[in-house]
Amino acid sequence: MSIVRDPAGRRLAVPEVEPPAADIAALRAFLDRHERVFVLTGAGCSTESGIPDYRGLDGAWKRQRPIEYQPFVRDPVMRARYWARSLIGWRSFGRAEPNDAHRALAEAERRGLVGLLVTQNVDGLHQAAGSRRVVDLHGRLDRVACLACRQTTGRAGWQQHLSTLNRDWVGLDAPVAPDGDADLDGLDFSTFVVPACPRCGGVVKPDVVFFGENVPPWRHTQATAALSQSDAMLVVGSSLMVHSGYRYALAAARLGLPIAAVNLGRTRADHLLTLKLAAPAGEALTAVLAA
Ligand SMILES: [Zn+2]
């Protein structure tokens, strides 16, 4: 294990698995052989930036399930709980920086080795590393959106707003969770003040796709169009356990495209893969570019 620090300075253990040189060479040949490689990334890309993953190596949940759409929309206390946890979690999440995996994928784009990158992550770290052709399948946590009038605003201003209305909560601390919230629990969340949309008084939600919510059709269309014009697919740091990601592997297989994956642990698409590197994304992709 190697130890990295999350943005709040806490220690995180990252398994160190030296990818075999033959696998590195095989993935490099895969990228060189195919002209248009569709990339799908997941949480495993961001763990080295200190953003924890939902799932263990076996693909099973390793923590409490994240909030779902319906409870958030219907229940003011659940909403207050979400935003209280988010107020604390954002301090770390909002400071996360790209790691070697993001940098390698941005470099691969510059060199023309990969095409459109579709990410299941909501942290914006691919763009921060310099990737330009990115679809944020599940949205971005650095924006909030009103469910009624659809106005979106930046998370930074919203954070300020939450902090001002909830002075007693600002000093709390808890470990950061994958959604950019924090594992804050056992508190009376009904005392947490959640501001309404300043424009229309509607419910404000982070501009991300919650569990139980659909990916906006235009994003799926954009991703599907790119996939249909690709000649291979590369999965990085995703177990593909969530259908919104897995369906691209199924679609690639239907199109007869070869699929390669860099992922520690099992993926739901293991039976569809041409090539798999069971290694941390940053280390493996850096080696692939250097090959
Ligand atoms: Zn509104």
pLDDT value, residue 1: 42
Q: What pTM, to 2 d.p., does this model score?
A: 0.89
Q: How far is the CA of 77 from the centre of ligand 1 (A)?
A: 20
pLDDT value, residue 7: 53
The per-residue DSSP string of the chain comes to: -EEEE-TTS-EEEE------HHHHHHHHHHHHH-SSEEEEE-GGGTGGGT---SB-TTSSB-SPPPPBHHHHHH-HHHHHHHHHHHHHHHHHHTT----HHHHHHHHHHHTTS---EEE---S-HHHHHT--SEEETTEEEEEEEETTT--EEEHHHHHHHHHHH-HHHHT----B-TTS-B---SS-GGGS--PPPTTT---EEEEE--BTSPPPHHHHHHHHHHHHT-SEEEEES----SHHHHHHHHHHHHTT--EEEE-SS--TTGGG-SEEE-S-HHHHHHHHHH-
Q: How far is the CA of 273 from the centre of ligand 1 (A)?
A: 44
* Active site (annotated) includes residue 138: yes
More confident residue, 140 or 187: 140
Give the model confidence (pLDDT) of 46-100 as tens digits. Answer: 999 988 776 665 556 556 677 899 999 999 999 999 999 999 989 888 889 999 9
Q: How far is the CA of 136 from the centre of ligand 1 (A)?
A: 22
pLDDT value, residue 66: 78
Give the model confidence (pLDDT) of 227-282 as tens digits. Answer: 999 999 999 999 998 888 999 999 999 999 999 999 998 999 999 999 999 999 99
Q: How far is the CA of 184 from the centre of ligand 1 (A)?
A: 28
More confident residue, 223 or 94: 223
Q: Among residues 34, 102, 138, 243, which one is catalytic?
A: 138
Give the model confidence (pLDDT) of 155-195 as tens digits. Answer: 999 999 999 999 999 888 877 776 677 777 788 899 999 99
Question: Is the predicted pLDDT of residue 226 greater than 90, yes or no?
Answer: yes
